[in-house]
């Protein structure tokens, strides 16, 4: 399941974030890749302990905590602190799959990567290439969103970033450990939650809403990993 969250940040906010980010020192992206993934990873990123990156990451997480679609779609239990990368001049990241478990630097905590997230921070018209390509049961899906938009997709997906041939692609990326690890179950719960919210705004019959809400929460109780 792919979920697009539009306008998480405004164009003005993204412009300022990108300005601050690009003024920081960048390191080889291979530093956070596994041995196999590193062979096809050609980009740069902020060090995990970069203070500016940590502050911006907290800002992203705060914004997400107020986003109903993110909370319903990801059902977050733990979130890996957002990282930042950039691609230009032919840089790319070949097909790979993210590590199932990632340790958070500096603390004794690990995150299971049920859901992957990419927040686009560059205007898609300012660079060519750089599409996020995700393989799923329906084939390959290409994602290149406006700046300030975020996409969620299963952490189990094989995916890549196409070579950037003009301009520069800047983004934040991170992972979510969900209360519900199975993507198909999260998808059903999201559909049900959206339907409940829509019926509530339409002032549907209270008894029917109560019954539907009960089914939602009982499924969440059955499937959740707490």
Q: Per-domain residue ranges for the chain?
A: 3-178, 183-223
* pLDDT for 125: 97
Q: 19-37: b or e for each residue (b if 16 or more CB lie within 10 Å)?
A: eebeeeebeebbebbeeeb
Give the fold, CATH level 3, of 183-223: DNA Excision Repair, Uvrb; Chain A (4.10.860)
Beta-bridged to residue 27, according to DSSP, are 45
How far apart (Å, rounded) are the C-alpha atoms in residues 46 and 162? 20
* pLDDT for 205: 85
Tens of each residue's pLDDT in the chain, 226 residues: 899 999 999 999 999 999 999 999 999 988 776 666 778 899 999 999 999 999 999 999 999 999 999 999 999 999 999 999 999 999 999 999 999 999 998 888 999 999 999 999 999 999 999 999 999 888 899 999 999 999 999 999 999 999 999 999 999 999 999 999 999 999 999 999 999 999 988 888 889 899 999 999 999 999 999 8
How far apart (Å, rounded) are the C-alpha atoms in residues 57 and 54? 5
* pLDDT for 9: 98
* pLDDT for 34: 64
Structure tokens at 29: 């992206």
- Determine the length of the chain: 226
Closest CA to 182 of 156, 158, 151: 156
For domain 3-178, give the CATH number.
Answer: 2.60.120.620
How far apart (Å, rounded) are the C-alpha atoms in residues 192 and 72? 10
Structure tokens at 99: 């590590």
* pLDDT for 35: 66
């Amino acid at each position: 399941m792919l979920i697009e969250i539009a306008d998480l940040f405004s164009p003005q906010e993204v412009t300022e974030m990108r300005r601050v980010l690009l003024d920081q020192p960048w390191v080889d992206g291979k530093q956070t890749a596994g041995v196999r993934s590193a062979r096809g990873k050609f980009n740069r990123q902020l060090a995990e302990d970069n203070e500016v990156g940590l502050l911006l990451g907290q800002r992203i997480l705060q914004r997400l905590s107020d986003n109903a679609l993110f909370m319903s779609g990801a059902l977050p239990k733990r979130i890996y602190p957002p990282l930042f990368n950039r691609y230009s001049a032919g840089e790319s990241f070949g097909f790979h799959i993210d590590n199932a478990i990632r340790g958070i630097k500096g603390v004794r905590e690990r995150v299971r990567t049920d859901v992957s997230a990419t927040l686009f921070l560059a205007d898609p018209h300012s660079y060519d290439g750089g599409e996020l390509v995700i393989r799923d049961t329906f084939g390959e899906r290409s994602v290149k969103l406006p700046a300030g938009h975020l996409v969620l997709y299963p952490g189990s997906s094989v995916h890549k970033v196409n070579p950037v041939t003009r301009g520069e692609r800047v983004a934040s990326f991170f992972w979510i450990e969900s209360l519900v690890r199975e993507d198909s179950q999260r998808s059903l719960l999201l559909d049900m939650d959206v339907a409940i919210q829509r019926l509530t705004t339409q002032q549907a019959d209270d008894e029917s809403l109560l019954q539907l809400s009960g089914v939602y929460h009982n499924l969440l109780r059955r499937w959740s990993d707490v």
